[in-house]
A and B are shown apart, each in its own frame.
Chain A
């Protein structure tokens, strides 16, 4: 399914801050090295040019245009590495490895959708951007986005593809509270796809169990290699994992998207 993975020098098409500490980068793969498609939930490793930062930063795909080979990444500037990435200028180059990892099971989601299942896409904070590509490839879902304040980055774009609602911690927009408070206002979905902070994912997992909904969770963990050799980014699994022979799975390789019942979070 996936084309050969290699480290590629991509061209920075645009770089801008779209919110406080939230950066959007659009990168163009060189012709001949463009991934045929991006599965929502996949990620890339992106490497700061400063040699003092030797590891790539795993960042999920927010959008991908296969014809132009244009990859859109939206991420939070947290440390020195991501701040350097945010300072990239159009015309500069930056190394990228991937697309990597397993995204959401699109065939299964499309089948469930065509059978009439109510599907909710849940994004919390910097877990919002990866859900946009999923909303685009699976139109007609419900999107529930959790923000701190009324700085609702990407919200308008979700509205193009999904019935969209927001929760804000300070109540300045949408429902005051969390994404769970929005979910509980309506009939429970049949299927949930979620990306966000661990407490949110835990709450979603529990909510899905209580309401008999299927759930897919996109996990985040510190990574070194991004391709499954270093075993840095494991999560705890509920069954013995085939690759590791223990209750551990690699977030970068077996994930980052897991069935909620398969992981202990």
Chain B
């Protein structure tokens, strides 16, 4: 019989300590309100909010979601109530929850992003900012900033000038070299990066001979994208020294460990929250169990443990 060993699941992202490395991916958890009756939100390492913009956004037409093999496509189009209501309603709710808060920020122009960043700068409930420069489903802004290393470098720099909280740049997989965009974010002053956002995809209804999604294209997420995401986290980890939050189809502790071993300091669960709202709690328990079985005292020891 072995002694029950304590496992330290704490990780640090840009100087902010999380009680464990598990959080929801932006857009799959609202601000946690809807899931509060199903789980103890304070068990999460952090809550990452749905993207928030300077004014309310109506998003795309329906159909906005559809299932594909081991995954889903979405083209919500970043519908959100705008930063004023977000602060009044969502941040007020999050004040009651004992966990870190990462607010995801979206915009159509540089000014949009900066306005939200400034509005949030005095909100002490915001621990970190995650900048969405990678959404494939809005026509202006978003992904355009994230696909070109020069624009990514520039907008990161501008946001860093205004932001009072540490800045995570969320990267798109829809690029030729993730190492190049990761380096651009780091050079622009990003405190951390998160990846991957969804992979642009398309589904066609063959009976009706038309696009399934009103937006025609959508972002692919779920287990189908996991190997791509693990590979990209690995490549980014080889390219930069800032912390990485890894995501893409995580549904179990084993999945999360792939990302951590590839170089992620923390992980996010996205589409699999829709399969089972308690997925994150299972991942946290499974990480603790894994560390025990492998005699690992601190989960942070595992970050990047697999390399060439």
Contacts and interface: CB of A to CB of B under 8 A. Distances in A.
Tell me, yes or no, whether A binds B.
yes
Interface of A: 4-7, 47, 51-56, 81, 95, 97, 221-235, 243-248, 253
A230 B71 contact: no
Interface residues of B, number: 39
26 contacts: A5-B38, A6-B278, A51-B70, A52-B70, A54-B223, A54-B271, A54-B274, A222-B62, A222-B64, A223-B65, A227-B34, A227-B35, A228-B30, A229-B30, A229-B35, A230-B27, A231-B50, A231-B59, A231-B79, A233-B64, A244-B56, A244-B58, A245-B85, A246-B58, A248-B58, A253-B34
Contacts of A234: 59, 62, 64, 79
Given A54-B70, A54-B222, A222-B63, A246 B76 contact: no
A215 B34 CA distance: 28
B200 interface: no
Contact of A54 (B27, B50, B272, B277): B272
Given A245-B56, A248-B58, A81 B76 contact: no
A52 B249 CA distance: 12
Interface in B205-254: 222-223
A233 B70 contact: no
Interface of B: 27-30, 34-35, 37-38, 50, 56-59, 62-67, 69-72, 74, 76, 79, 81-82, 85, 222-223, 271-278
A7 B58 CA distance: 30
Nearest to A247: B58
B59 A81 contact: no
Q: Which of B56, B275, B276, B278 is packed against the most chain A CB atoms within 10 Å?
A: B275
Given A6-B38, A234-B59, A54 B275 contact: yes
Given A222-B66, A232-B65, A244-B56, A54 B71 contact: yes
Given A224-B271, A232-B65, 4 more contacts: A97-B277, A223-B65, A224-B72, A246-B59
Nearest to B39: A6
Contacts of A247: 58
A228 B274 CA distance: 11
B74 A230 contact: yes
Q: Which of A7, A55, A221 is packed against the most chain B CB atoms within 10 Å?
A: A55
Contacts of B57: 246
Contacts of A52: 69-70
Closest 7 CB pairs of A and B: A232-B65, A245-B81, A229-B30, A245-B56, A246-B58, A54-B275, A224-B65
Given A222-B66, A231-B79, A5 B37 contact: yes
A248 B59 contact: yes
Contact of B76 (A97, A223, A231): A231
Nearest to A6: B38
Given A54-B275, A230-B76, A221 B63 contact: yes
A227 B59 contact: no
Nearest to A3: B37
Given A229-B29, A248-B79, A53 B67 contact: yes
Given A244-B81, A245-B85, A246-B79, A229 B67 contact: no
A134 B223 CA distance: 39
Contacts of B29: 229
Nearest to B212: A222
A253 to B, nearest CB: 7
Nearest to B58: A246
Contacts of B59: 231, 234, 246, 248
B43 to A, nearest CB: 15
A85 B94 CA distance: 38
B274 A221 contact: no
Q: Which of A223, A233, A244 is packed against the most chain B CB atoms within 10 Å?
A: A244
A81 B275 CA distance: 14
A226 B69 CA distance: 19
Given A54-B222, A247-B58, A232 B64 contact: yes
Given A81-B67, A228-B30, A234-B62, A4 B37 contact: yes
A132 B66 CA distance: 29
Q: Which of A226, A234, A235 is packed against the most chain B CB atoms within 10 Å?
A: A234
A231 B70 contact: no
Contact of A229 (B34, B58, B62, B223): B34
Given A221-B63, A245-B85, A7 B276 contact: yes
A253 B35 CA distance: 13
A229 B39 CA distance: 15
B74 A233 contact: no
